[in-house]
Structure 1
Amino acid sequence: MLSLMLCVLYFGVLLGLSAYGLHRLHLVILCRLHRAKLSRAPEVAALTDRDLPPVTIQLPLFNESTVAARLLDAVARMDYPADKLEIQVLDDSTDETQGLVRTHVERLRARGIDAVYLHRTNRVGYKAGALDAGLKVAKGELVAIFDADFIPQPGFVRAIVGHFEDPAIGMVQTRWGHLNRDVSILTKVQALMLDGHHLVENRARFGADLLFNFSGTGGMWRKEAILKAGGWQHDTLTEDLDLSYRAQLAGYRFIYREDVVSPAELPEDISALRAQQYRWAKGTVQTARKLMSRVLTAELSRGQRLEAFFHLTPHFAYPLLVLLSVLLLPALVLFPAADTLTMLAIDLPLCTATTGSLAAFYMLAETAQGRSRWGAVARLPMLIALGTGLAPHLSKAVIEGIRRMAGEFVRTPKQGDNKGRYKVRTDLPITEALLALLSCGAVVASVQTGHYFATPFAVLFAVGYLYVAFLVGQEQFARRREVTSSAPAVASDAAVVGAWSRQGTKDRPLGDLAA
């Protein structure tokens, strides 16, 4: 009976993961089917300076002293009539960023640039609250948004503003570039993951007239669309995804422009990446809680509703992946090794649905930007390993998203011109270390029992958990050493688990924390 239950659970998990894998393959097919529409996306009405609408560029900041000046200088170079462009600096900072940015804004104003500095004395609503406060006084009919680590190009506004001649267009999203793609294997894998989102998911959904989302930065909104959709709300940690669905349910259409690229930084340490991914995972689950029933009962096509389901639930694959890691060892021990025919009939299709579809997905992401598809193949094992290593932490995010709405918005630290200035505190990788040991046992068991088909996956699980556990442990050790030596130049954000924020020490230097 126990063996039967284990068998049902094991293959149920595999089928669940396969469903998300096949969905990725479906997106690849959609990109192929709608190539003609995607190629026409850059065709936009050319407007004279006289006909250009007023635009506000919002720059939400929170303790961004390492990148704020770079961002402001980039936006100041925007090729757009000065009398029709407003720059809003929405600064919630509690450190030296305040003085730095305020002085920079004054210099821009002295040059005749319409730059406004808005500082809130509280972080109510976090980023969503700052955007909402700025929107109330924004001069522009259209609102572009850039996070602090982005470097918008001079032609950004002119390239996409013509789309809004159609009153049905509510938002235009552009592609993210990567300033530090080749710094490490960690940044290379992140770049591939984000390229998959932008160059496969967004392109497929836009091409097939499915619902897709504003990515939080590097896009432009019609102000009226935001207001009619209910404005920026902060009951989820993914305010961009939440607003995107509400706006499309209100009847607005979105456009994706893969040819307009805004470079940005990728997190270079694992703690920052985990914090970022945790926020995205928890917020997406919260948005699903908030809007899924409304989406499934809206006047949408069956295809739109089905795609929205997969769009709002992808992070549920992480608990499935952790469960698969736990079940693998007992499954290898209790189940007899399959003969060749059984492997071809069961194991091979499941493997193809998961790994094969993943390869096709990221190969398309590479070729869509003129890169070799074999680069994606070479990085795929590490991508799978990293996803596995992040799975326990992100499974906690999924559970938190199911349990409660909102929560603390822990922003991703930016490196800029002072690496190490901002850091994220995080929990020790105890779960990852235990799962690494379990996966190492599965590697040995797969060889001893003749389950050779499972060996590569057990190895990837073990490598993924060990890699993340090692990096997190290494960073924690280095930061404890910094605290001990009272290094005054290094600051810390709130812990993902909220430890420092509960003590009222958020964003104080590590040297102060040690005092």
Structure 2
Amino acid sequence: MRLDFLFQWGTAFGKEYFWGELLATLILVSYLLLLFLIFMYGVMQFRLAIAYRKSKKEEKKGAVVDPNYFPKVTVQIPLFNEMYVAQRAIENIALLDYPKDKLQIQILDDSTDETKDIVAATVAKIRSEKEIDIIHIHRVNRVGFKAGALDDAMDACKGEFIAIFDVDFLPHADFLKQTISHFKDDKVGVVQTRWGHLNKHYSLLTELQAFGLNAHFSVEQVGRNVQGHYINFNGTGGVWRKSCIEDAGGWQHDTLTEDLDLSYRAQVKGWEFVYLEDVVAPAELPITMSALKSQQHRWMKGGAECFVKNNALLRKTEGLERSHRVHGLFHLFNSSVFVVLLLLSLLSLPLMTIKESFSHFDWVFDVSAIFISSTLFLFYYYWVSYRDKSEQFLPSFLRFTVRFVQFLTVSAGLSVNNSIAVIEGYMGIKSSFVRTPKFNVALKNEFKGNKYDKKKMSFPMFLEFFLFILFGLSTVYHIYTETYAILPFHVMLTLGYGAVFFYGFSELKRR
């Protein structure tokens, strides 16, 4: 869209050109700074992809599984109002192949609805039939939410090690045997495994989530781990050494991502984390846009809160390697990329007007073209995760390219929801822990509704619709005036904001 009025408001002062040039300079400087941040994000992800590829080429070490190593383990399932999946999760965890005298199971239940009765009945049945040490710990308040439940249960943990699973996770029977042996090294504080997806093929929305998560759980986690950089416990699908939790200060609930927070406090104190890409813990992906937004809001806000809380710890703790500090700060800053993307999209609107009005700024546009390489870095990062070498290269590459464009488009559309979350995190605005609704469905014809999945017209949805219209008009303008430099970006934004808004709006109609 032409935004000439932005550069003509100075006429009231009789200095139109001066004020217009000043405003154009401020916009261009801000735009270049944001492009640089995106570029650095792309570089960091590219470096992780290189490290991941290098690790795959090196000879793999033999398995460290010791069939005779059976320390005492406590398994925890924290939950809150999960009537659709609670029984399934508890029955599955009771199938763990581990000596009964070495296993304790805690169901940490904060539920206020019929879920608590389902949990109580299921626990009683399993305890009676399988003679497993399983207990139902029901809190009458949600102080600290998930972190509070985990912290409150620490004194009742009999295990030297604590495995944690969210209620939608269905670990395989040999999970503990595949992970516990790594703790024979006394320096290891956490063993984290890769998330699998029970309902990946439910819809395009779940396919795109799997696409993004797979890159994190392969390239990013492995890439950091093999270089000795800090990784994070992902809140579930992993095992903690109890003494590591205590040494790092315990579970704290001043952020929405208590897992990321504790991970950094533990690693700064010298504890090592082991990541097992080949051990998979299957879980359920959100199947509605409202559920996905709720999850993303919590993750992004929590990430920003952890940056505020822990960046000084990384910068000032003596003895840390510089590379650990840099990678750690970028890791904690990751959620902020959505704010950068949103601001970048808004500042892109007046670019063509600036280019036409101030020809001496042409060099800026030539320089900014360099930063397009950040997209190529991300392309490679996701390709490394996606590629299946058992398939023919060309068909696989074409499918990946389509999926990559779809993923970037929807990610751009989520930038409003996620930016609000990040800004709230930086501003210290506190909110409750809104857990992601679980559905216990793998196919669309199985979905019968979910009382926990609250759908309503929200402020972010209004903004998404407004931006859909704004960038749609800008796209039409660029086509009409044959100014194509920024057109692909604005087409992507139009489709992204439109897809996220109309997907969510269609759910309102299906309530």
TM-score with structure 2 setting the length: 0.88
SS at match of 1:35: helix
Are the counterparts in 1 of residues 65 and 177 from structure 2 also a CA contact under 8 Å?
A: no
User: In 2, are the aligned partners of 1:45 and 1:162 still within 8 Å (CA)?
Assistant: yes
Correspondent of 2:454 among 424, 442, 447: 424
In structure 1, distance between residues paired with 2:287 and 2:246: 36
**Who is 1:307 aligned against?**
327
Identify the range of structure 1 (469-478 vs 358-367) with the bigger mean alpha-carbon deviation: 469-478
Q: Secondary structure at the match of 1:172?
A: strand
Structure 1 vs Structure 2: percent identity of aligned residues?
41
- Following the alignment from structure 2 to structure 1, what is the Cα–Cα distance between the partners of residues 53 and 259? 27
Q: CA 1:141/1:369 → structure 2, altered by over 3 Å: closer, same or farther? A: farther
> Structure 1 residue 472 and structure 2 residue 475: aligned?
no
User: Which whole-Å deviations, capped at 9, do the CAs of 1:47-79 have from their partners, x for residues lacking one?
Assistant: 31xx41011110001011111111112111111
State the one-letter code of the partner of 1:411: R
1:325 to 325, 345, 351: 345
Aligned to 2:248: 229
Alignment partner of 1:356 is 2:376: yes
Counterpart mapping for 1:148-227 below 5 A: 148-227=167-246
Q: Which amino acid is the alignment partner of residue 384 of structure 1?
A: L
AA in 2 matched with 1:23: M
Counterparts of 1:449 and 1:347 in 2: how far apart (Å)? 22
Compute the displacement of 1:348 (Å). Answer: 4.2
SS of equivalent residue, structure 1 residue 182:
helix
> Distance between the aligned counterparts of 1:450 and 1:300, measured in 2?
53
- Quick one: which amino acid aligns to residue 63 of structure 1? N
Higher alpha-carbon deviation: 294-303 or 200-209? 294-303
The AA in structure 1 aligned to 2:192 is Q
Structure 1 position 43 matched with structure 2 position 63:
yes
Measure how far apart 1:251 and its partner are: 1.1
For residues 244-278 of structure 1, the C-alpha deviation after alignment (integer angstroms, 9 at most, x for no partner) is 00111111100000000011111011111001000
- Indicate the residue corresponding to 1:488 in structure 2: none
Whole-Å Cα distance in 2 between the matches of residues 256 and 419 of structure 1? Answer: 37
* Paired position in structure 2 for 1:460: 492
- Unaligned ranges ≥5, structure 2: 1-20, 442-446
Instruction: Name the aligned partner's letter for residue 419 of structure 2.
Output: S
Name 1:294's counterpart in structure 2: 313
Distance in 2 (CA, whole Å) between partners of 1:264 and 1:373 is 27
| 8 Å contact from structure 1 (residues 325, 439) kept in 2 | no
Give the Cα separation in 2 of the matches to 1:6 and 1:343: 11
Equivalent residues of 2:193, 2:275 under 8 A apart: yes
Deviations 1:298-351 (A, max 9, x none): 22111111101110011211122111221222112331499xx97995354221
1:414 aligns with 2:438: yes
Amino acid at match of 1:282: K
CA distance in 2, matches of 1:375, 1:287: 36
Change over 3 Å in CA distance of 1:368–1:115 after alignment to 2: farther
Residue 32 of structure 1 corresponds to which residue in structure 2? Answer: 53
Residue in structure 2 matched with residue 391 of structure 1 by the alignment: 415
Matched, 1:13 2:37: no
Provide closer, same or farther for how the CA distance between residues 451 and 207 of structure 1 changes in structure 2, counting only shifts above 3 A.
Answer: farther
Closer, same or farther: CA 215–37 of 1 in aligned 2, 3 Å: farther
CA distance in 1, matches of 2:194, 2:389: 11
Structure 1 partner of 2:164: 145
Deviation at 1:387, TM superposition (A): 0.9
Structure 1 contact 332–446 (Cα < 8 Å) conserved: no
Under a length normalisation based on structure 1, what TM-score does the superposition of the two structures give?
0.88
SS in 2 for 1:423: coil
Alpha-carbon distance between aligned partners in 2 of 1:317 and 1:61, rounded to the nearest angstrom: 30
Distance 1:369 1:252 in 2: 35
Correspondence 1:364-513 to 2 at 5 A: 364-367=384-387, 372-404=396-428, 406-416=430-440, 419-421=448-450, 422-426=452-456, 427-428=458-459, 429-479=461-511
Partners of 1:370 and 1:109 in 2: CA distance: 45
Q: Secondary structure at the match of 2:200?
A: coil
Q: CA RMSD in A?
A: 2.2
Structure 1 unpaired stretches of 5+: 480-515
User: CA contact under 8 A between 2:109 and 2:116: conserved in structure 1?
Assistant: yes
